[in-house]
Amino acid sequence: MRRRVVVTGIGLVTPVGIGVEEVWENVVKGKSGAGPITRFDAKDLPVRIAAEVKDFKPERFIEPKLVEEMDRFIQFAVAGSLIAIERAGLKGKTDSERVGVIIGVGLGGLPSIEDQFKIFNEKGYRRVSPYFIPMAIPNLAAGWVSILTGAKGVNLCISTACSAGLHAVGEAYRYIREGIIDVAICGGTESAITPLAVAGFSSMKALSRRNDEPEKASRPFEKNRDGFVMGEGAGILVLEEYENAKKRGAEIFAEVIGYGANGDAHHITSPSPEGKGAEECMRLAIRDARISTDEIQYINAHGTSTKLNDLYETIAIKKLFKDHAKKLFVSSTKSVTGHTLGAAGGMEAAFTALSLKTGIIPPTINYEEPDPQCDLNYVPNEAIELKDLRYAICNSFGFGGTNACVVMKKI
């Protein structure tokens, strides 16, 4: 028998705020988190904008002596997890052997790698930090969260590029559903706004070059989109077995009812033609949820603001949902947060749960000129209140053709 799984905690560290209420308010209002890069001097790069997390003070969440042992992506994961755990009211109320940690990461400790390599070249190996390796490897996000919270259940790092955060949520759902654990701290984290990463994505021509209008640069599904805006942060959820949550009187944001994961088997960076992989991934998730496509009302899209992704995601939605596609609300919150890579799926799963909780569908901002090939309802520029919102899905697609889709239900 499948156990029911619900979202009881959310923790967000984003370019538009830290916490839950502040972030959600800014997402709903369509307040862009993009701006000029401040983390380093980007004047010689073709892209000089990003969506950075502002005013993040790790000491608010982590003992100062431990901060220097963690790369920024780990700090984000710890902060998001502690916020989510507090919001869930879980501390001291569950068996630690039955609590797992599954956190997705795309690039890991790239800032530490770049910094320590510079030190190595300039000052020699003796000056390389003894914390360098634990700062750099992706699984230390989950590792540190486990250490600091006492969660002794399954401890995993999912590293599937831009699908990592949502894969982590989906896998956590499966572990709880099958009775392996009762609670999971899950989601995604990333902090890769570095000279090398910006240069690399720029060379691929994946980033928007609207350097003079950073707040207008991320424009998913819009005709004049020219690439994504790199973001950073963490989106962490507490998933919990329903009876456990009900017994302790926990606040429930939404119920997770389905998960799909597959591969395009097509190309290292481009999605499969006509969105075949994305279409099948959504089909798998909806089938797993045991509902029909006509019951879905909202899709929190992957929607990166790149030409092919937005086009093929649109085609995939139209092929799967057929006539019902015209009735769907489809929005990309990356228009507000930028593309936070491995953190994106965690953030967007949280936004999907908040949509179901509040009955508000966040907008796709910067939608000025429709693309004739992208002809769905992308909730342009203004949020929509939908009081009868009951079923929603969240999509994430990553390099290498790795896809994830999670279905949620209002409860």
Report the distance separating Cα 155 and Cα 152, nearest Å: 7
Q: Which of 157, 162, 374, 405 is catalytic?
A: 162
Taking the CA atoms of 159, 162, 165 and 170 in sequence, report the sign of the dihedral they define.
negative
Please say if 405 is a catalytic residue. no
Please say if 339 is a catalytic residue. yes
Q: Which of 167, 186, 281, 302 is catalytic?
A: 302
Outline where 108-256 has alpha helix (H): 110-123, 132-136, 140-149, 164-177, 195-203, 242-247
Q: Which of 157, 339, 374, 394 is catalytic?
A: 339
Please say if 374 is a catalytic residue. no
* Cα R_g (the chain), whole angstroms: 20
Report the distance separating Cα 108 and Cα 191, nearest Å: 7
Phi, psi of 292 (to 5 degrees): -100, 160
Active site residues: 162, 302, 339
